[in-house]
């Protein structure tokens, strides 16, 4: 059971938000983040780190989390901004944007190993938090499913790239597609070495 939150509940801390990101490693697409607040004492043994769940299970839990959450937010930062501020800062920004969307103000924020020193609410980074805290695991699912859906739609715009399969990660198939078609401006992350290496005179624009 994921119940790290229990360590932090007190008279002063009744609402705890968890936040996590999805998509730090891919060569293409935005980085997504989500934030979730569950009612105090909420329990759900099905929710786990998104990386440990099948796509079918994540999709089912996506709807359940949104239904059961006291509040949730989902945000993203574009590939262009990732290139401008770096992926680490982009991930942090996406988390804070997701937190800003929460309809209820949390008393405390738990993050998956990401410090948020400039955010106005106290936060605690937890190493492997998505495997320890229910609210962080739920946020990881919302972020992952949202990003996967975005990449599925991106393939419809750019059918030369099988984004629905590799989700923008640097798979053999994706690298071959980059060799054949060149990177897409506004879609690929040009600050990532594999994209920079494979950039050619072939350009595409959104």
| Pairwise CA distance, residues 94 & 122, whole Å | 17
Q: Is 20 annotated as a binding residue?
A: yes
Residues 6+ apart with CB under 8 A from 158: 184, 187, 204
The CA-based dihedral angle spanning residues 100, 106, 108, 109, taken in that order and rounded to the nearest 10 degrees: -40
Rg, C-alpha atoms of the chain: 18
CB 169 within 8 A of CB 25: yes
Secondary structure (3-state) at 117: coil
| Pairwise CA distance, residues 119 & 180, whole Å | 43
- The angle subtended at Cα 73 by Cα 130 and Cα 91, nearest 5°, is 60
Q: Is 12 annotated as a binding residue?
A: no
Q: Is 148 annotated as a binding residue?
A: no
* Binding region for a divalent metal cation: 20-21, 112
* Binding region: 20-21, 112
């Amino acid at each position: 059971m994921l119940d790290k939150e229990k360590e932090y509940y007190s008279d002063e801390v009744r609402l705890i938000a968890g936040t996590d990101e999805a998509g730090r490693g891919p060569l293409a697409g935005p980085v997504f983040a989500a934030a979730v607040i569950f009612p105090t004492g909420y329990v759900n043994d099905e929710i786990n780190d998104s990386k440990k769940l099948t796509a079918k299970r994540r999709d089912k839990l996506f709807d359940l989390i949104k239904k059961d959450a006291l509040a949730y937010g989902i945000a993203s930062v574009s590939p262009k901004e990732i290139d401008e501020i770096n992926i680490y800062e982009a991930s942090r920004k996406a988390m804070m944007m997701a937190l800003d969307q929460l309809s209820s103000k949390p008393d405390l924020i738990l993050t998956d190993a990401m410090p948020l020193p400039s955010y106005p609410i106290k936060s605690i980074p937890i190493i492997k938090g998505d495997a320890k805290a229910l609210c962080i695991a739920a946020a990881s699912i919302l972020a992952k499913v949202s990003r996967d859906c975005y990449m599925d739609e991106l393939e419809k715009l750019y059918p030369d790239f099988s984004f629905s399969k590799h989700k923008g990660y640097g798979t053999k198939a994706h690298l071959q597609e980059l060799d054949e078609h060149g990177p897409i401006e506004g879609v690929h992350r040009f600050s990532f070495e594999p994209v920079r290496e494979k950039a050619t005179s072939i350009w595409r624009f959104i």
